[in-house]
Structure 1
């Protein structure tokens, strides 16, 4: 970009709410990724990756036309090459179901799947919630019983335990089936129409499109009104109540405490029966860090053969923020095992050869490279070696090279330094690393 007043190039910043992942933060993300991979492996879930861009209809049909996501949060555009209506995915489940149907993944039987990646929603950026955010989710497709509802909730609890998160509470509810929600919907409409003057603008709009979402309003002036609204649990039939009771019984058997929240409805159209959220008081008003439930109607709605399904998703930024608040972020990991020091010229050649041999032996090695192309004093190089977290420094100066040697210095223990023959340098480093780990 050019400043028209002085014809000077100006700095271009990232889009608001879409953030860079800097090296200082990468370690925490990598730690979370590893924990999630171990979790999904422990329960037999397989990885599935969908494109970032999908047909807009995937989310219109899957998420629901009357949801906030579809109405005002999606990044949608027309492909100018062929006129297709496309959208940056705002959530993962509808895209996963599209992929499952298109590739006939449950033709041979149920599937346990997981995904992770960036999602996009045009909303006001706030703590732990951004316009480009990252989501992890699991989806169990083809399972009808309450046991799979309980399993995916147990996965969430295991994750919080593995991450060392404190103060995360489980809230659950049942949305029943479509006919039960229709009866409840009619009762809600009647109730809220009687108090229409107390509804805010959003709720008045939802009264005509999705009155169940009024129960999810965070407007403090409406909480007393919402508290007095008809409760869906009172409209559930025997089968829905039995399913909900079985889920609770399985959670109790595994010592998982939960609170029944009759106002918990979730924000998407595809849910039925069990819904749940994990909430915390540590992140301000945006207290939900993960949530999900059963969505049996979705596969058929998306054009596939009817099949039951359930799952949940979490915002990774929010979880990392909670890890930070809980003091459970991982300790700093060293950048390398060995830091190579040299004085340029022939010492650089020798250092480069040894560095490659160390890497061939599986030893993480950083070779000092001066920013200006010139050599630097060993004192300044040693500061960089120490900052790298390396256990040892391997030093090759002109004197060492003349003797066909290197100096191996212990950076984290005794600080002792010893001469080693260049030909035995790799073996000496291996022995030193093995000795320091015992």
Structure 2
């Protein structure tokens, strides 16, 4: 006996008389049909949605946008020819709906459209990630990110200071917040301070606080960042930019576990965990006399390194899609996918600004995109071949091309290595051998 497949679920919101006439025929061809009002759509789920679009919806479109954004599926608009002629209706429908039909329905065309929408919804479901991922989650499936998450999970429960190293834009503060969230201090404050962004004459007060009248402008007592973090975690970003005289004060606090506010003489006991981050070579700074060696060893008990985006093979497309969904809420536009040309351009780009640059370019792309996909020019990128440096042998050219091909296919198919091998036209064992050869994953 053949097993019956699960029925495709259609939700009709604010149905009209034409909608009700359409539904029996859809049920006979395998659709499980439900209906509700826009006000009660929150608790309903579906594979495809059909929405009766009327003029008053266009006057306050936020509810419609919210319905479509929350559902994570494809929607079809049903509207009269008069409504279709209204100003900006075309742009709104193209932006938010998979397709539209004018009333009365062409039944055969509706059936075809519903089938196409169902197929697209299935594809979206396979490629989307859970919408409830925490903002400070360390995303990525590359070997470097898997190793980082494993190390973070080991370091988080300890009370030891941790030094986080990495280029600008690689997510050092995200790592710090994840360490705090996974620690026993997660119910206490997480206080971050950028040591390079505060003027030298204010940083002593910022870190340690001050008493009323301790200097001109000190009109009242102020609690410093270290004291504010008591019981929790203090994150010192760009620690390499901390002036030498402040380095001595910080070292004294780490040794004695108490502070004194500027202008005060009463020791205040403090219990915090110290996380520090830097993108500079602290060892060179110690050798040059720009960073205290004793402070360096106090901070560098445990060490983590965040990888630059150019080395996180297989993570680029996934991160770009994540930012497209995240910033679509800010821009008020539907999450968009990326064209093949945009993916190739992103793969060819060197990403000097790392993940921060990717987030900014995707944010820009969502605003500028005119079609259903984000194009390379929307991201401010151009389609051009990689600049190849001087090479001496044909073998080096082959290795460079081989590695680039592996990186590009992993950007698209990191979750399906069989498909990645098939795209390259090699067997799975050969594909794994190439990954090992080029030290990828």
Bucket of the pairwise TM-score, normalised by the shorter protein: under 0.3
Q: Which has the higher helix share?
A: 2
Report the TM-score when normalising by structure 2: 0.19
Report the TM-score when normalising by structure 1: 0.19
Q: Which has the higher strand share?
A: 1
The higher relative CO (CA closer than 8 Å, separation ≥ 6) is in 1
